[in-house]
Amino acid sequence: MAEALRARGVRVTILEPGPGVLHTLVDDDLRPLVEAVLQRHGVIVRRERAVGLDDGPGGAVRSVLTDRGERIGCQLVVLAMGIEPNTDLAVAAKVRPGDTGALAVDDCMRTNLPNVWACGDCVEVRRVIDGKKVYRPLAPTAFRTARVAGHNAARRGRGQPKAFPGVVGAAAVKVFDLEVAGAGLRLDEARDGGFEALAVTVRHWSHVPLLPGARPVHVRLVVERRRGRLLGATCLGERGAALRTDVLVPLLWDGWTVDRIRDLDLIYTPPFAPSLDPLIVAANEAAKRVHP
């Protein structure tokens, strides 16, 4: 929204009372890069909470009041405060929600009620990295859970039911020219989940820097300290960041270690990737810090 409004010449202020913009996707150490891009494009980010609105004549919004007692003049307010599952209909029918607030389903997408399956944005799913139930309302989760629920509902009682294997939770956003992508756990999530985890961040290049268009790529890997198992990754950059993150998704699924990742023969071709891909450089750095 900020980008679209700036493209139309609208002045934009983001009020972010939490740890920072995109804090569910990006760890602390890379977040300043995101905020710098916003700033460069004229978006003001303020560490304040909106606590009230002032109406002008005719009921149109005139300003936002913040928890610091500031009044920010405006003509439009966009509330972007996260997403919650709308489970009212299902809960009224006695479908049980899980701890996340989304509907609880088993691996076959069955709810607690006979002959009622659920899928998509209203269900919680299993995170493969640690088995925890999480809420990940994203399109791939919706497609994949829908396929399982549909199959099982259509074949009820006949044949082998399909099971949903879970998610690692990969997502990306574009912040003006910056690709911001993450998969698996952030460092704080890994530690909260009981992992003894460390993180390394490297800055490398999208492709050979002598060639035109090469841009820095920042890779952060979250790794289990003792075994070196990859738990999560974040990639940022103006080129080649989002789809590099995708490379790590199957490795997160299969519990690869950074030692194994650094031995991958990823592409080296000057216009596409440097001789050591940023993922290899990051895995090398992480492997040095792993203590068996």
Ligand X SMILES: Cc1cc2nc3c(=O)[nH]c(=O)nc-3n(C[C@H](O)[C@H](O)[C@H](O)COP(=O)(O)OP(=O)(O)OC[C@H]3O[C@@H](n4cnc5c(N)ncnc54)[C@H](O)[C@@H]3O)c2cc1C
Main-chain phi, psi angles of 231, to 5 degrees = -110, -25
Distance CA 284, CA 258 (A): 7
Strands 230-237 and 197-205: unpaired
- Residue number of the CB atom closest to ligand X: 120
Beta bridge partners of 233: 183, 221
* Residues 8-22 as b or e (16 or more Cβ within 10 Å = b): eeeebbbbbeeeebb
Select 175 or 202, whichever has its Cβ closest to ligand X: 175
Select 16 or 121, whichever has its Cβ closest to ligand X: 121
The answer to whether the beta carbons of residues 45 and 14 sit under 8 Å apart is yes
Question: What is the smallest separation between the CB atom of 135 and ligand X, expressed in angstroms?
Answer: 11
- Interface residue list for ligand X (CB under 6 A): 89, 120-121, 137-140, 142
175: three-class secondary structure by DSSP? strand
Select 104 or 138, whichever has its Cβ closest to ligand X: 138
Question: What is the smallest separation between the CB atom of 248 and ligand X, expressed in angstroms?
Answer: 17
Select 121 or 238, whichever has its Cβ closest to ligand X: 121
Strands 12-15 and 43-46: parallel
Select 121 or 259, whichever has its Cβ closest to ligand X: 121
Beta bridge partners of 55: 61
Select 45 or 172, whichever has its Cβ closest to ligand X: 172
Question: What is the smallest separation between the CB atom of 139 and ligand X, expressed in angstroms?
Answer: 3
Residue type for position 265 = D
Distance CA 228, CA 215 (A): 28
Question: What is the smallest separation between the CB atom of 142 and ligand X, expressed in angstroms?
Answer: 3
Question: What is the smallest separation between the CB atom of 253 and ligand X, expressed in angstroms?
Answer: 17
Question: What is the smallest separation between the CB atom of 284 and ligand X, expressed in angstroms?
Answer: 31
